[in-house]
Structure 1
């Protein structure tokens, strides 16, 4: 075990706990006598904890502590609960947990939030215990009814059986009696070899309603008498409203009201079309404030200067000074741009106010933060704010912020009716909370064909310093250095630094991988450059440094083999590989790509090998890797938010484009069978595609790109060497 680490990885911190008591010991309200009961609990309902309800008609309802936003987590979490409960999965229903950090806080984060690819990692053990405890109480109720030893009873698909006497009882029949049983202190968990549901590709519970249109996203909410509003904020970050002429807007059919606040304007109408047309007719004069001259060039000048300064040491192993003086020194710098989230469902929130209370309908990753922020805005207790959460049409980290709810409430305070506020795509794009810009400087020495020393410095914003201040300790953002302090390669001398460099005015936040998608890109691109310097095949070069990382070595060999690594390729076609140790999951990604004479890129094939430990639902894992790869490759090929005159230049999918169906390659995902503790998966697919693509371009053209998105002009004339 490494003992001379001055910092700690995000993974290590989340495992060990944060100083200052940020991370909470996860305590389930398991005791039947002290259990948190559902408000509508009937006498024959069995609710042994905050996650499980079984009624007298045989319905098993599982309360989801995490939010479903397309990642399949409702099904996977339900599978964990149902496995240990031995419920009939065909009769399971799921519902959103209400905002309640006392009951539903994520045990790895200490707050009620869905993110960090940790839904399964965080709740694997607590929810297994919840299911096992409920099962034990049902068995005890049956044993008492039959006057038999509970050890002689078995459970399967919602039925308790006593084989010796041939008697059976359904969970529905036992629900009333089970509620009076004492909760065992430590109900035994199943041996994974006995799993019947976990490890199968169970059909997703949310699919039927999504297919036939019954599902209600936040944007679908309809209330009696509801009006619809859309808003505009100053196009310059930090600007304010100076003056508004609403005469033309009020002439638009269906427009009912114009709301002017200090930092935004909103048009209220009978429907979205009226509100949108009214907003376009509004004549607003903005006070653009101090950032009216800000440009991307300014931001990059500042960041590049910051990256040349010494940072806070996040890891130091061996003797970096001596190591850098040994062998051939190689240096490089890599840059990543601002990125928007561009979720399919634009930001929205529906509000109904009374003089002393508020109801919110929304799709959010942070229900309790929405509740608290709205309560603070209105000056009322948290308990007076009801948050009805919904499926989310894409989050990617954007809905870890409560700003859309706060804006909706502020507007609704001026409107005498329930109000739905919908952001246009343009407003969503130009007032996002962006993935930070990063610059990474790396210096390494090669000695005897291997890396003798590695010095890595990452410069960029500290998202955690704003979002979870207690997690920002000793000047280190653990997310910003994730996958850098714990890269898998065995190198004797390693030194990692972090320089906090906040861009002026531009808000930054989490974006599906955040720090890891920056660090894995820089590290894996530089590893390829070092392999070429050493005259070694990139896969062989990596293999030498993975003897102490057998899971990583396993996915490397699996991906390379399945991708046909080493097989002959046509001119200007290359294969690139990238490894990632992200979210407790080991992944190797191989991209095969062709670059034509004009620098245009055709993605021919992507191969991924994934070791995520126990795979709760393999089909969901494959789907998440596939979708993540498309998301990440889109960013690599096209993704960049630029600033001119204090304004975001991009507006919609016409100038912030996505990878299209005809551009999407064949994707093969291979899962490693494993009995290890489950890892994360939701953000993992995003991370490996960009460096693997860049390395494929490097192999095809000999051009070592060091910045995203890919500049086609730089590779148009390159030839493979």
Structure 2
């Protein structure tokens, strides 16, 4: 999901008016008994001394369980080995994302939005345990210490574990404003504690949605229209019903659903359906036709998103004017686990097991379709094999299909299972986008004019979040093109919002995924034509308040030993700097020519994401983001053929970066006392421009149409 600017934050918060409370809600306090101490909505202390943290953000490989549990454990002064984690239930009154106003994960907000609430929850639990010990031992609370999960009173020689104090702590009152540690008191925050879910994933006990089976469960496969916007005209289910294991066929809003005893039968039954599709409202244009239309709109310009000075006058007076057009394709998320979910429908409600990225809206959508009140729909968020934005649909497309399939059949247990082909051809792509750039240089090679016209589809238009569009500008379309850290006199950014039946969605780093490439490669080209060093040239035009940008750029130049674009031995270097999700990242990439395509040997990274909760997870997230962004820049592309059919249905035609193509990565994390900011996405935007800039240093040409390697 895109970044939340102040106005967008205000809208989302105002839409729900929810506050994350540290105090224990009444219905959870009822669970606190002699066996388990439940100090608040986030923590459970069991008699075996384990501490379970209820994490309000989905864990799909990014380390959220570990990061948020670390915050609690540090403030509790717990021992890491006693900590456990599980997903919190769907309940926005308790678990809303403070930046969204609803319960959900996205926009690299899990850590920033949880930094204070999770620490407060841990500190409150610690205070209650200390109070319990003081009352039990009849000693002053101020004389009690807590370390590594042991509560002690030196004067009397008494000590107890958290589990020992569970019964007494249940009678303690949670402090309204628990005292938090200062950064110099942290014992776990800033350390490389072990990932909390890794043991489950390595010993096979981790439960994903595909592992969920319910008594009498039927597997559902849905035949979707082969063109976006098409609908079912008519269908004949005779052959499908003759497939062994197929029990039923029903038409639902998204297509034709086949119900079977297992996945194989469901897929075979779906293949046997005879369907006539109605293309009256379908997207029939090819990628080339759409791209041409978008390119014309980009040249013409759209609504002004940001403007300084008099650009037309500056361009007229410029000694040199440079133009460029950048074309970006539709991209699939291509996460390892295709979409799947299980639902149990009863007369009085429903229970769902799925990788829910936005539980609040998933719950409401399912309830609305089935005719229940939202509290009567239980969402069990499962460990999930990736998302990159795919599971965060504003229209809750997938769970809507799940609920519709269940409604069409009646009470029972159902598993909706998508295949790789369903996922790859199902839309909700990163939008196809065109940037038209224009730069003016004076006689000394200084930038005196900057134009960036963007043409793309809006992710928010037509969704429940459309109110976030201000003045016709969807901020997720141009984020990164605006609010740049450089002083670019006489500049203008415009947005032409385009329409297509192809559904689009946020994709890891959202608008930054294309704006960073367009702005950083074009800037690099202007610096080159102006005779400037690519690092020093950037440093020279950074604004006075861009101190964190300056610091990461200087750091990456230092660790890479930057001495210019020529690294010798046929290797060129490219640099890129980009801030997204309030984190600052600079990269230098070493690239050679491997038979006409880039070969990336090493990437140096400097990142400032505030206080580093777990440095090893930050390094892993940056490395993963680089792999994801490099794969897209090098190979990935969803194309529509003439007539609107998607050409790529699986990994055989949707090329993904291979392990042998992954570069060596060196990450330097900046020391910081600032509150933590996002890290799941900020590593993706700079990699493509860093490689693109190195490639131009090698060949004289920046790739202007991505991917770099096209079939």
1:85 to 2:83 alignment: no
DSSP-derived class of the 1:300 partner: helix
- Over residues 669-716 of structure 1, what are the superposed CA-to-partner deviations in whole Å (9 max), with x where a residue is unaligned? 222222222121101222111111111111110012222111569xxx
Matched with 1:641 is 638
Distance verdict in 2 for CA 1:323–1:161, change over 3 Å: farther
Matches within 5 A, 1:166-565: 166-261=157-252, 263-291=254-282, 293-327=284-318, 328-401=320-393, 402-415=396-409, 417-447=412-442, 448-465=444-461, 466-502=463-499, 504-546=500-542, 548=544, 549-565=546-562
Deviates more, 1:695-704 or 1:602-611: 602-611
Cα distance in 2 between the residues matched to 1:533 and 1:319: 22
SS of the residue corresponding to residue 102 of structure 1 reads: helix
Deviation at 1:491, TM superposition (A): 2.9
Contact 1:18 1:471 in 2 (8 A): no
Shift of 1:119: 0.7
Confirm or deny: 8 A CA contact 1:17 1:23 kept in the other structure. Answer: no
Aligned match of 2:610: 613
Match of 1:657 in 2: 655
Once residues 632 and 679 of structure 2 are traced to their aligned partners in structure 1, the CA distance between those partners, rounded to angstroms, is: 19
Q: Retained in 1: the 8 A contact 2:3–2:581?
A: yes
Q: Which residue of 1 aligns with 2:707?
A: 709
Q: Name the residue aligned to 1:718.
A: none
Among 149, 161, 178, the residue aligned to 2:140? 149
Change (3 A) 1:275 1:693: same
2:49 equivalent to 1:58: yes
Distance 1:482 1:293, change over 3 A: closer
Aligned-residue offset at 1:223: 1.1
Q: Distance in 2 between matches of 1:317 and 1:149?
A: 63
Q: Is the 8 A contact 1:35 1:49 kept in 2?
A: no
The structural deviation recorded for 1:10 is 6.9
Structure 1 partner of 2:98: 107
CA offsets 1:581-637 (integer angstroms, 9 cap, x no match): 1111111112222224x5233222222121211110111111111111111111111
- The answer to whether the 8 Å contact 1:241/1:261 transfers is no
Counterpart of 1:6 in structure 2 is none
In 1: Cα distance, 2:398 partner to 2:272 partner: 23
Deviation (angstroms), 1:21: 5.0
For 1:24 and 1:196, how far apart are their aligned partners in 2? 36
* Matched position secondary structure for 1:22: helix
Give the drift of 1:420. 0.9
CA distance in 1, matches of 2:354, 2:253: 24
Question: What is the deviation of 1:61?
Answer: 1.4
**Shift of residue 338, structure 1, vs aligned partner:** 0.8
Describe the superposition over 1:453-506 as per-residue Cα deviations: whole angstroms up to 9, x where unpaired.
33323222222342522322222222222222222213344433333223x211
Partner SS for 1:558: helix
Structure 1 residue 68 corresponds to structure 2 residue 68: no
Give yes or no for contact 1:28–1:130 (8 Å, CA) kept in 2.
no
1:668 counterpart residue number? 666
1:429 and 1:650 in contact (8 A); partners too: yes
SS of 1:445's equivalent?
strand
Task: Tell me whether 450-459 or 89-98 shows the greater mean CA deviation.
Answer: 450-459
CA–CA separation in structure 2 for the residues paired with 1:269 and 1:497? 51
Change (3 A) 1:414 1:330: same
Aligned equivalents of 2:467, 2:166: Cα separation in 1: 43
> Considering only aligned residues, what root-mean-square deviation do their CA atoms show, in Å?
2.4
Point out the more displaced range, 445-454 or 630-639. 445-454
Residue in 2 aligned with 1:600? 597
Q: 1:499 to 1:262 in 2, by over 3 A?
A: closer
Measured in 2, the distance between the counterparts of 1:392 and 1:381 equals 27
State the 1:40 CA deviation: 4.2
Q: Distance in 2 between matches of 1:708 and 1:16?
A: 30
The secondary structure found in structure 1 opposite 2:66 is helix
- For residue 309 of structure 1, report the CA deviation from its aligned partner: 4.0
Secondary structure of 1:695's match? Answer: helix
Helix, strand or coil at the partner of 1:706: coil
1:83-115, Cα deviation, whole Å (9 max, x unpaired):
112222211111111111111111111121111
* Structure 2 CA distance for partners of 1:330 and 1:38, relative to 1, 3 Å: farther
Structure 1 Cα separation of the partners of residues 532 and 668 of structure 2: 26
Q: Map 1:155-166; keep pairs closer than 5 Å.
A: 155-166=146-157
Does the 8 A contact of 1:599 with 1:712 survive in 2? no
Q: Give the distance between the partners of 2:680 and 2:2, measured in 1 at CA.
A: 16
Q: What whole-Å deviation, never above 9, does each CA across 1:106-161 have from its counterpart, x for those lacking one?
A: 11111211110111111111211221122222222322333433222222222222
- Which stretch of the first structure deviates more once superposed, 443-452 or 65-74? 443-452
Aligned residues of 2:481 and 2:515 also touching (Cα < 8 A) = yes
CA contact (8 A) 2:516 2:578 kept: yes
TM-score after normalising by structure 1: 0.92
Whether the 8 Å CA contact 2:22–2:117 is kept in 1: the answer is no
Classify 1:421/1:28 alpha carbon distance in 2 versus 1 (closer, same or farther; 3 Å): closer
Kept in 2, the 8 Å contact 1:531–1:537? The answer is yes
Report if the CA contact (8 A) 1:14-1:108 is conserved: no
**Counterparts of 2:214 and 2:710 in 1: how far apart (Å)?**
50
Cα distance, 1:318–1:674 mapped onto 2, change above 3 Å:
same
